[in-house]
Amino acid sequence: MKSRPLQIFLSRPALVPALLFVLAFALRLLYVFVTSTQSFLEGDAGRYFAMVEQMLSDHIYGYGSEESNARVTPGFPLFAYSIYSVFPFTPNVFRWVHILIGAATVFPVCSYVSSVSRPLLGWAAGLFVAVYPPLIYMTDLFLTETLFIFLLALFFASWQWMMNKPSVWSVILNAAVLSWAILTRPGMLPVLMIAVLFLLFSKPTWRILIPYLLTVGACFLPWVVRNWIVLDEFTLLASDSGNALLSGAYPFFQENPNYKEMYSLRMSQTQYGVRVILKGFKENFLEYLSWFSFGKLYYTFKSMWVSSTMNFPKLYMYGGVLLHYLTLLLSLISVPYLLIKKNFLAFAFTAMLLFQLLFIPTARYGTPFMLLMAMLVCSAGYTLWISRKQNYKLPAGPTGEPLH
């Protein structure tokens, strides 16, 4: 028998996510405007900010340059440009945007997990979003992470809605969100391939594959056409993604990229990175195999993505560390289990992770996977509980009595 407080929450399904949004909003507000000593424009963030300023003043789309280029995908820069076209061009404006987007991520996460399990597990996943330290830390950086993680969660929530209630609008929404997510962080590209395979081999939904792909194509077309006309090049994603590949090519960071050799061979960073990897597997197979499996996984997930200047209470950080490693531990069981169960999220997660192993491993790039792990753990817990419950039911005989 359910307790009265739980019955109240279950009778009002939007109440708990709303409370979790308030909690997430408050924690991010507290960090950004009270305790943070993190520079909002540190590293890549400063280059993104200068890029948006240039777009506003000179109408030139160029990352790290005063000339037009396609070095980064347009998902985040155009989003920031649209915000600053309306509001004053100050860091605090986007801090508020990040606080709202980061807190709002609670809603699609709760929606997805609740739709595949129970509201209680959806609330648990939403609580993870609210309190997990890296998801708060990224709020005070002018980087793609906050927007991307919101789009990542929104994609899976809208995917579940599309699969449950296929319609023109649900197809367009999910395909558009996926396209925007890929154009914000190209590491999500493998999810498009997984989505296509799932739609192709699912009888109830294979008919929506064509409109799905047409929507994705329509979303990518302006970016591809712009690059073709302005830059005279065919660039589907970004033209400067090779550095992450090359920097992650050397096992356990024991060597640095040999740019002198790369220039002498007249190769791009991507071409030279592929050359280094193939040569490495040929000459030192076991070392490269260990690096592109356990090694990169270790560097990606060994610690949370937070700064040493993060001024949260120690007890809170200890709780965050415990949550981080507990989620990793439970995912070691949850991911293989859901792969066996042919779960879409599990296959999408695995495809993204394998693709990420090609590039430089950092805790920053591991943070979106931590959110997906939390969602997978909650989903797997419910699936396992239902399976065990069904297995424990004894078959009944002709008279209705259990068979022993």
Helix or strand run (H / E) with residue 317: helix 314-340
Q: Are 144 and 167 in contact (CB under 8 A)?
A: no
**Residue 76 phi, psi dihedral angles, 5° rounding:** -80, -45
What's the mean pLDDT when you consider all of the chain?
88
Mean of pLDDT values over 278-296: 90
Distance, in Å, from the CA atom of 121 to the CA atom of 375, rounded to the nearest integer, reads 9
Separation CA 298–CA 161 (nearest Å)? 35
pLDDT at 238: 86
**Interval 55-84: pLDDT, tens:** 999 999 999 888 899 999 999 999 999 999
Share of the chain above pLDDT 90, in %: 63
Alpha helices in 341-392 (DSSP H): 344-356, 363-392
Grouping H, G, I as helix, E, B as strand and the rest as coil, residue 402 is strand
Q: Rounded to 10 degrees, what is the CA torsion of 190, 182, 197, 369?
A: 50
- The confidence score (pLDDT) of residue 394 equals 44
Answer yes or no: are the C-beta atoms of 310 and 132 closer than 8 Å: no
Each residue of 30-62: b (16+ CB within 10 Å) or e?
Answer: ebbeeebebebeeebbebbbbbbebbeeeeebb
Pick from 48, 133, 176, 159: nearest CA to 318:
133
The Cα–Cα gap between 221 and 328 comes to 38
Distance CA 54, CA 89 (A): 12
Q: DSSP letter for 64, please.
A: T
Least confident of 90-94, 162-166, 388-392: 388-392
Note the pTM of the prediction, 2 decimals: 0.91
